[in-house]
Structure 1
Amino acid sequence: MASIDLNSDLGESFGPWHMGDDAAMLQIVTSANIACGFHAGDPAGILTVLREAARRGVAVGAHVGYRDLVGFGRRNMDPSSAELIGDTIYQIGALQGLARAAGTSVRYVKPHGALYNTIAQDARQAADVITGIKAVDASLVLMALAGAPIVAQAREAGLTVVCEAFADRAYNADGSLVSRRLPGSVIHDPAVVAERMLRMVIEGRVIAIDGSDVALEAHSICIHGDTPAAVVIARTLRETLEARGVEPKSFIDVRHG
Structure 2
Amino acid sequence: MSTILYPSPIVGPIHSRRLGISLGVNVNPADSKICTFDCIYCEVGYNSWHRPTSKRPSREHIASCLEAKLKEMKAQGSSLDVITFSGNGEPTGHPQFLGIVEDTILLRNRYYPEAKVSVLTNSTLAHIPEVHRALELVDNNIMKLDTIDPDYINKVDRPTSPAYDVKEVIEQMQLFKGHVIIQTMFMHGTDDLGNDVSNTSDRYVDPWLDAIRRIKPSEVMIYTIDRDTPCAHLSKATHDELNAIRDRVAAEGFECIAAY
TM-score for both structures, normalised by structure 2? 0.48
